[in-house]
A and B are shown apart, each in its own frame.
Chain A
Amino acid sequence: MKSIARITVSSLVALTLLTPPLWAAEDTAGFVDFGKFAKPGEGRQFVEVNVGAALISIAARITEKSEPEVAELLKGLKSVRVNVIGLDAANRGEMTDKAAKIRGELESKGWERVVTVQEKQQDVGVYLKHRGEEAIEGVVVTVIDGDKEAVFVNVVGDIRPEKLAVIGERLNIEPLKKAAESIKKS
């Protein structure tokens, strides 16, 4: 009886340790909670994209044969989250404050600011969370684009900001492509 219980417990522990895809991205260091966004008002649009580990691994499998380097890039990711909120006079202040608050929290938690641009009507911030010298655990991009929209991006996994465009292209996430272009321009 004791040996059966021991085998059962050992199996459960092994199963937990050997199934990384089931670990929630929320538990990883590169994950950032942007909080809730107010529901869109009249004439304002919102877009939310939330691609988790399971879907990323499916995408990696699909591209494995035709584009192995892209598949390797995707395999390093745990989640891709994008929030786009249409701006108007009513919510511009709130979104600007939200972006500033998120940036402050990131800096206090040891995230490295790699890009900060505030020009014309664009406000772009890119932050990286490092793990050791070489690896990256997460990327956060915040963009306040004048009167148009606010964009918040969090990619959890080992990814350089310059590769975000590739991810956006391969997963066909338009807002992520736009955010990557903003980084390139800045």
Chain B
Amino acid sequence: MEPPTLSFPPMPLLTPAPAAPAAVRRRHVWRWIALGVLGVFMAGAVTVYQSFRASDETRLVRQTILEVQPGGWSKQMEFGVGRLPVAAAQWVLRFVPMDPAARTAVQSLRRADVAIYQRLAQSAAGDSADLALRAREALARRGWEPVVAVGEAHESVLVLMPKAASSLRRFNVCVMVLDEQRLVVASVGANLETVMASLNAGDLLQNFGAL
């Protein structure tokens, strides 16, 4: 009588798993491609949104004014163009016939934004000098200092620049105009070396000093 033979099924670890069908592999690849496209689209959407938002300093002025007079202001306009749309516009405008001074101005621009807020009728006229002072203090905490401040009780004009060293290449300025009816905030970043190369230096200094 022969001894019983033992047979064992092959151990799973030693046996390679059967390959997934080709259709399943294609689904996995397409899933990753879809996720990648979605990620790029989301990043692009965020970049575009960020590129057309008002600058930090403009939004800070708005926030400060609204904190002092909540519900007292309505936004008429708030629009900004960041590096990406400015660069795109500069590239397109290369092929458009333009006045040389206008072309220089466009080529020197790095970013720009403007915001206009209307005082609501039901809010108190308030003290523009006090509001301007609050906005100035808020911007000072963010590193902006006033270069020029002009005003009286109901009207104020502030021109501010970053405390950090500015240069012709990285020139940033924020202008705030506040009166009984309206608040206008505009902020610009520019490369003035481009402007210097083409404009008369005396004209530039007069315009610079006129700030």
A residues in contact (CB < 8 Å) with B: 21-22, 39-55, 58-59, 61-63, 65-66, 86, 170-173
Which of B148, B161, B206 makes the CB contact (< 8 A) with A48?
B148
Which of A47, A58, A66 makes the CB contact (< 8 A) with B202?
A66
How many inter-chain residue pairs (CB < 8 Å) link A and B?
85
Which of B153, B204, B209 makes the CB contact (< 8 A) with A40?
B153
Which of B130, B167, B205 makes the CB contact (< 8 A) with A170?
B205
| Contact yes or no, A44 B147, CB < 8 A | no
| Contact yes or no, A40 B129, CB < 8 A | yes
Q: Which residues of B contact A86 (CB under 8 A)?
A: 152
Q: Which residues of A contact B208 (CB under 8 A)?
A: 58-59, 62, 171-172
**CB of A130, distance to nearest CB on chain B (Å):** 28
Given A49-B148, A54-B161, A58-B171, output 8 extra A-B contacts at Cβ < 8 Å. A22-B165, A40-B129, A42-B152, A46-B152, A50-B145, A59-B205, A62-B201, A62-B208
Q: Which residues of B contact A47 (CB under 8 A)?
A: 148-150
**A65 to B200 alpha-carbon distance, docked (Å):** 11
| Contact yes or no, A49 B147, CB < 8 A | yes
Interface residues of B toward A: which range? 20 to 34
B residues in contact (CB < 8 Å) with A: 127, 129-130, 133, 145-153, 161, 163, 165-168, 171, 192, 196, 201-202, 204-206, 208-210
Known: A50-B147, A55-B147. A43 touches B168 (CB 8 A): no
**A172 to B210 alpha-carbon distance, docked (Å):** 6
Q: Which residues of A contact B192 (CB under 8 A)?
A: 58
Determine the main DSSP class of A at the interface with B: mixed
Known: A45-B151, A50-B147. A39 touches B133 (CB 8 A): yes
In order of increasing CB-CB distance, the 9 nearest A-B pairs are A172-B209, A48-B149, A39-B129, A54-B166, A66-B201, A45-B152, A171-B209, A54-B165, A40-B152
Known: A55-B161, A62-B204. A41 touches B166 (CB 8 A): no
**A49 to B145 alpha-carbon distance, docked (Å):** 11
Q: Which residues of B contact A54 (CB under 8 A)?
A: 161, 165-167
Q: Which residues of B contact A173 (CB under 8 A)?
A: 209
Q: Which residues of B contact A22 (CB under 8 A)?
A: 165
**A54 to B145 alpha-carbon distance, docked (Å):** 12
| Contact yes or no, B196 A46, CB < 8 A | no
Q: Which residue of A lies closest to B204 (CB)?
A: A62
